[in-house]
Amino acid sequence: MIDYRQTVITQYRDSLTLMRLLDDWNDDIDPRAFFSAWLVNVWNIETATGYGLDIWGRIVGVSRIIKIQSGKYLGFSEADDLTEEPWNTAPWYAGNGNTNSSNLTDEAFRTLIFAKALANISDGSISSLNHILTILFSADGPVYVRDNGDLTMTYVFSFAPSDLQISIVELDGLLPTPAGVTVGYEVAS
- List pLDDT tens digits, range 87-110: 555 555 555 555 667 788 898 888
* Long-range CB contacts for residues 45-52, cutoff 8 Å, separation at least 24: 45/110, 45/113, 45/114, 46/110, 48/110, 49/106, 50/106
On the question of pLDDT at 80 being above 60, the answer is: no
Name the strand (E) or helix (H) holding 100: strand 98-103
Average pLDDT of 9-38?
84
Amino acid letter at 147? D
Count other Cβ atoms within 10 Å, centred on residue 157: 22
Q: Given this model, what pLDDT does residue 60 score?
A: 92
Lowest mean pLDDT among 45-54, 87-96, 131-140, 147-156: 87-96
Task: Give the domain ranges of the chain.
Answer: 4-43, 62-187
Region of residue 188 (phi > 0: left; psi between -120 and 50: alpha; otherwise: beta): beta
Look up residue 145 and give its amino acid.
V
For the segment 31-48, the average pLDDT, to the nearest whole number, is 89
End-to-end CA, the chain: 62
pLDDT of residue 51: 93
Instruction: Give pLDDT, residue 2.
Output: 66
> Binning pLDDT at 50, 70 and 90, where does residue 50 land?
very high
pLDDT band, residue 48 (cuts 50/70/90): very high
Please indicate whether residue 52 or residue 123 has the higher confidence score (pLDDT).
Answer: 52
Mean pLDDT of the chain: 80
Burial 122-151 (b: 16+ CB within 10 A, else e): beeeeebbeebbeebbeeeeebbbeeeeee
Give the pLDDT mean for 160-166. Answer: 79
pLDDT above 90 for 173: no
How confident is the model at residue 91, as a pLDDT?
52
pLDDT value of residue 77: 46
Q: How far apart are CA 27 and CA 101, in angstroms?
A: 48
Residue 53 reports pLDDT greater than 90 = yes
